């Protein structure tokens, strides 16, 4: 790492010879493999942009010129080139973020952990600088081909086409993948550009043969040249972008620093909007990350850097429980179909897709489209299951509200990674969904407390025919089953209060918080209090059965891994409407953007642990 250690900022890159640049790229790639293997993180995407990022920093002058990365998980090389060399605490509390972070560096502008927003940021920044007379400052958006499937990109491109004089460069990082392989018309179009580039290579080869074997070479060259017009008419290598009035350069080998620098310098000097098409390979230079199972290297845990195999075997996950039950339901019901937004593997749809390939739709990074398409599928007689991370539901709230709920379409949403996720930071915590869903008329929301309940909730959700349903569960290893001691209508009672004594406290554990609620009850019961713990199972709308249980309690405490007040607020309102005068203590996630750390560390930081909640309740109940 001798050369890498001398790079404290982009200025240091500009003095390097081509040979030193090649050495630096090798050192960075080795460093990423060995450091990320110890901490976990986004490995494959960053291995694919080593040379591309070096070229960007050699041509442009960050932070005077603004570099935006879409998505931001490809920012590791950028961090190293801007002086952040200690990756030992990557994505850990107090360590480097897994995304660009303004708190870390002036070189970072947009966290951009939700895809397809970079072009909108870019035209905003470039326009503001033009109005301020700062036309010598460039704005560069590096956008992965997967992010081009998002609708915001095309809204931004439409707008950019009206402002072609801006010093704005769009770099397409084309590796044919988002999390997994990129699908759709845009992917097909980029593939045609790659095919045309290969054709040009073959044509050049034929031309070179004229000087070596004139007869054969001329035959090859004449044949290929005769095909040229027809082939170009078919694939139109620059047509779509140039029809928008955008200058197109490429395709360029994204792993050839000199070629990338040449293209970027041409773009820099053009004086207007330029699109540079770079061909890269996800996981480049690391055999395990480019093999048949390359997609599992998009984001890794701790791995053996030599083999790429995980060092820690994870147990059965909440996602596994959902995945297995969906396969069973798919076998029983031909009307069940599944949709995802470029996350087929992470949300557990791969087994369903293998068995029922015609019933799975990966729409790209386009949550809004996925939800409204699901409404259409429902209207036409199918039952769609939309599988996304809880944090990404934010992007499709209007479609959930106006296309699904308003029209009472039977669409089931499965929200993976609900609650605190931790290491990916503020943008990935699935903490807003319950507060948003609480204002959607007619929606039914289940929060399973364990893996067995995931399967039951999913089966119940797809049986609903008069409106949307939601099943949410957290990231990580599934907890042991928590048995109910009895049921009170639709509510599971997990712990009864002391017999023959007034009930001091009713504790409502929402989803995975049920286990915390039981520990809180243990601590309060040790103080001599009568405490009942319940799991509503279906948390929205608040059931009449829960209201009746609350009627007999001295007070109620709601524990939810969502923004404080989501379920608690709905329970308060229902209690008021029912004329039940009981105080509701709300314990949830504060309305803050929470810094990255492990899930346990974040929960401890915000006081959503058994000790903290029990101490708080004990003081209130005194």
Residue 356 clears pLDDT 70, i.e. is over it: yes
Query: Once rounded to an integer, what is the mean pLDDT over residues 93-114?
Result: 90
What share of the chain in percent tops pLDDT 70? 88
Neighbour order of strands in the sheet with 583-589: 486-488, 491-495, 531-535, 503-509, 553-563, 583-589
Angle at the Cα of 145 from the Cα atoms of 348 and 108, rounded to 5 degrees: 95
Residue 219 clears pLDDT 80, i.e. is over it: no
Residue 222: partners with Cβ closer than 8 Å, 6 or more residues away: none
- Which one of 367, 417, 449, 560 is the catalytic residue? 367
The CATH code for residues 486-621 is 3.40.50.920
Question: Residue 585: helix, strand or coil by DSSP?
Answer: strand
Mean pLDDT for the chain?
89
Q: Which residues are annotated as a binding site for Mg(2+)?
A: 145, 175
Alpha-carbon span 393 to 342, nearest angstrom: 14
Query: Once rounded to an integer, what is the mean pLDDT over residues 504-517?
Result: 97
- The pLDDT tens digits of the residues spanning 459-485 come to 999 999 999 999 999 998 998 999 999
Contact 556, 510 (CB under 8 A): no
The CATH code for residues 318-472 is 3.40.50.970
Q: In this structure, which CATH number among 3.40.50.970, 3.30.930.10, 3.30.460.30, 3.30.460.10 belongs to the domain 4-297?
A: 3.40.50.970
Query: Is 306 annotated in the active site?
Result: no
Query: Once rounded to an integer, what is the mean pLDDT over residues 206-224?
Result: 53
- Which one of 177, 359, 395, 495 is the catalytic residue? 395
Output the pLDDT for position 250.
86
- Which one of 282, 359, 475, 572 is the catalytic residue? 282
Query: Is 367 annotated in the active site?
Result: yes
Residue/partner pairs of 539-542 with CB below 8 Å, 24 or more apart: 539/434, 539/445, 539/446, 539/447, 539/510, 539/511, 539/567, 540/434, 540/437, 540/438, 540/443, 540/444, 540/445, 540/470, 540/567, 540/570, 541/444, 541/570, 542/567, 542/570, 542/571, 542/574
Residue in the block written with tokens 């007619």:
442
Q: Are strands 360-362 and 412-416 parallel, antiparallel or unpaired?
A: unpaired
Q: Which residues are annotated as a binding site?
A: 73, 113-115, 145-147, 175, 286, 367
Q: Do 4-297 and 486-621 agree at the fold level?
A: yes
- The pLDDT tens digits of the residues spanning 256-282 come to 999 999 999 999 999 899 999 999 988
- The pLDDT tens digits of the residues spanning 130-178 come to 999 999 999 999 998 788 888 899 999 999 999 999 999 999 999 875 5
Question: Residue 439: helix, strand or coil by DSSP?
Answer: coil
Contact 66, 168 (CB under 8 A): no
Q: What is the DSSP string of 8-56?
A: SSHHHHTT--HHHHHHHHHHHHHHHHHHHHHH-B--HHHHTTHHHHHHH
Alpha-carbon span 335 to 325, nearest angstrom: 15
Look up residue 614 and give its two tokens.
């029990």
Where along the chain do its domains lie? 4-297, 318-472, 486-621
């Amino acid at each position: 790492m001798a050369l890498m250690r001398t790079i404290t900022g982009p200025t240091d890159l500009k003095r390097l010879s081509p040979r030193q640049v090649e050495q630096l790229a090798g050192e960075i790639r080795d460093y990423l493999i060995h450091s990320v293997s110890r901490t976990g993180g986004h490995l494959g995407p960053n291995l694919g942009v080593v040379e591309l990022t070096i070229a960007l920093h050699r041509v442009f002058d960050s932070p005077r010129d603004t570099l935006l990365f879409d998505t931001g998980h490809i920012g590791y090389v950028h961090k190293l080139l801007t002086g952040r060399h200690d990756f030992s605490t990557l994505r850990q509390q107090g360590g480097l973020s897994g995304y660009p972070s303004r708190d870390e560096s002036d070189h970072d502008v947009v966290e951009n952990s939700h895809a397809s927003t970079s072009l909108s940021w870019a035209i905003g920044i470039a326009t503001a600088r033009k109005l301020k007379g700062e036309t010598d400052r460039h704005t560069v958006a590096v956008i992965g081909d997967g992010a081009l499937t998002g609708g915001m990109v095309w809204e931004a491109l439409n707008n950019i086409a009206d402002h072609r004089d801006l010093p704005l460069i769009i770099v397409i990082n084309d590796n044919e993948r988002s999390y997994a392989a990129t699908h759709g018309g845009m992917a097909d179009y980029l593939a045609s550009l790659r095919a045309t580039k290969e054709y040009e290579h073959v044509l050049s080869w034929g031309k070179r043969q004229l000087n070596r074997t004139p007869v054969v070479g001329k035959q090859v060259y004449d044949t290929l040249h005769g095909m040229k017009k027809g082939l170009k008419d078919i694939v139109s290598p620059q047509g779509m972008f140039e029809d928008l009035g955008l200058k197109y350069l490429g395709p360029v080998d994204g792993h050839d620093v000199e070629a990338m620098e040449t293209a970027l310098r041409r773009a820099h000097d053009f004086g207007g909007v330029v699109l540079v098409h770079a061909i890269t390979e996800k996981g480049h230079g690391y055999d395990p990350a480019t093999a048949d199972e390359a997609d599992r290297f998009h984001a890794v845990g701790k791995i053996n850097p030599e083999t790429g195999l995980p060092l820690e075997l994870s147990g059965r996950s909440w996602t596994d429980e959902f995945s297995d039950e969906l396969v069973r339901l798919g076998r029983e019901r031909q009307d069940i179909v599944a949709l995802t937004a470029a996350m087929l593997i992470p949300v557990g749809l791969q087994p369903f897709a293998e068995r029922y390939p015609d019933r799975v739709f990966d729409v790209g990074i386009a949550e809004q489209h996925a939800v409204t398409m699901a409404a259409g599928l429902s209207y036409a007689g199918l039952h769609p299951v939309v599988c996304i991370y809880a944090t990404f539901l934010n992007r499709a709230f209007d479609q959930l509200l106006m296309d699904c709920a308003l029209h009472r379409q039977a669409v089931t949403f499965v929200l993976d990674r609900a609650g605190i996720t931790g290491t990916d930071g503020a943008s990935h915590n699935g903490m807003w969904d319950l507060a948003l869903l609480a204002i959607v008329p007619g929606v039914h929301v289940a929060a399973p407390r364990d893996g067995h309940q995931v399967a039951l909730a999913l089966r119940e959700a797809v049986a609903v025919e008069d409106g949307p349903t939601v099943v949410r569960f957290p990231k990580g290893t599934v907890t042991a089953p928590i048995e109910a001691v009895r049921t009170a209508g639709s509510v599971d009672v997990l712990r009864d209060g002391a017999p023959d004594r007034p009930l001091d406290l009713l504790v409502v554990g929402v989803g995975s918080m049920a286990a915390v609620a039981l520990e809180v009850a243990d601590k309060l019961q040790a103080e001599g209090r009568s405490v009942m713990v319940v799991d509503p199972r279906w948390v929205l709308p608040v059931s009449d059965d829960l209201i009746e249980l609350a009627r007999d309690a001295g007070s109620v405490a709601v524990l939810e891994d969502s923004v404080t007040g989501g379920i608690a607020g709905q329970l308060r309102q229902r209690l008021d409407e029912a004329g039940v005068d009981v105080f509701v203590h709300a314990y949830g996630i504060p309305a803050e953007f929470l810094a990255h750390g492990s899930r346990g560390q974040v929960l401890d930081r915000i006081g959503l642990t058994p000790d903290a909640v029990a101490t708080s309740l004990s003081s209130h109940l005194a």
